[in-house]
Structure 1
């Protein structure tokens, strides 16, 4: 089970975009698509049914979830997530380094 969610701010820890930050756009199994990260060039065919024009398009591609880590704004570093239960018994995500709750988007 991935501890990252759509809308989380992450930092890339491995690969060609190492050190860059972005927001998770989508998650598919063990891969994530991050805004502005892992930009690839795609040759798009025109499609009359959808009205899509053909040409060369730049877009984000999926990268493996192990290559990103959640970004802790207080410590300005990559961090890990753990779970805690509050006094009402609800489960919440917290940063392991300082125990602060992860802001949900």
Structure 2
């Protein structure tokens, strides 16, 4: 079993908030393909990273999770590229972990 996590920013690199419809669209696409989704949207998570030795960048994000039996790497690669464009990001994180259900 695989757990996919998609980290979606609340705003673009210029600070413009994304409309709620964009998040609903992603939710619906993943629910249609995988039959369910978990979203962490109540309070945005904070992402911090060093852009340079003197600059720290931050993002407010929501996290979408999907579980699937198989790892369809080509589909996820295309989906991540599409989300990167739709959410106007330089890099958009989609990560996967192999998990065991207990």
Report the TM-score, using the length of structure 1 for normalisation.
Answer: 0.20
Larger fraction in strand: 1
More helix by share: 2
Q: Higher relative contact order by CA 8 Å / sep ≥ 6: 1 or 2? A: 2
Greater C-alpha radius of gyration: 1
Length-normalised TM-score, structure 2: 0.20
